[in-house]
Amino acid sequence: MSAPLHLVLLGRGKTGSLVETIARERGHEVRIIASAENPGGKAITADSMQGVDAVIDFTTPSAVVGNIAACAAAGVNMVVGTTGWQNKLASLQPMVEQSGIGFVWGTNFSIGVNIFFAITQAAAIAQKHGYMVRIAEKHHVHKKDAPSGTAVTMQKLLTAQGGEAQIESIREGETIGTHVVLIDGPEDTMMLVHDAKSRRGFAEGAVRAAEWLTGKKGFYEFKDIFNKL
């Protein structure tokens, strides 16, 4: 566990609230900035971020881009667990890198899911042997993006060397998150399944990413650094 940090949390939804709880359990100081205080990232300035070690964002796709730009301008490290904004990566990454901050983003901060990503990537070879690959993901009805960022990451891993992997998205009840890879061939069928039991794994991964960022600069994806935590 790292030395105590001063963290700022953006977003107090179900996962964001757990981030606050876990950060305090790990001995960190946490300040909350509510969305009403922070339109367009305006509450994030060099002055307001004095002494802050990292900002953790679990807001919405419409809010996160302004928050990223504000953190880059303020020179404060950032961890982004919000999904649904990754189509803007190409324009945001150079800005973040030029700012000199440390930045970690991920479509999922669960250690288990990131192990599942590695397993999924290994399964991509099935398409070269005539198997059809599909992804099904199910989340709660409040989730703002579909398909999920996790499913999109899985799709990229499965199609990196060609082939297709269609995604079916289901929004039902209070489901935390279930992802299934179906690998179907003429002679047999395989299934890979990740089923989240709680949101705690997502929240803890984000806090640990903020700890890992201490003293670092650069633009990182969580799936590439989780083994270093």
Catalytic residue numbers read 139, 143
Q: Tokens 């060099």 correspond to what residue?
A: 46
Tell me the two tokens of residue 46. 């060099």
* Backbone phi, psi, residue 80, to 5°: -115, 115
Q: What distance, in Å, lies between the first and last C-alpha atoms of the chain?
A: 10
Three-class HEC string of 163-189: CCEEEEEEECCCCCCEEEEEEECCCCE
Give the span between the Cα atoms of 228 and 226, in whole angstroms: 5
CA torsion through residues 214, 216, 218, 222, sign: negative
Estimate the share of the chain in helix, then strand, then coil, as percent rounded to the nearest 5: 40, 25, 35
Give the span between the Cα atoms of 45 and 217, in whole angstroms: 19
Q: Tokens 């929240």 correspond to what residue?
A: 203
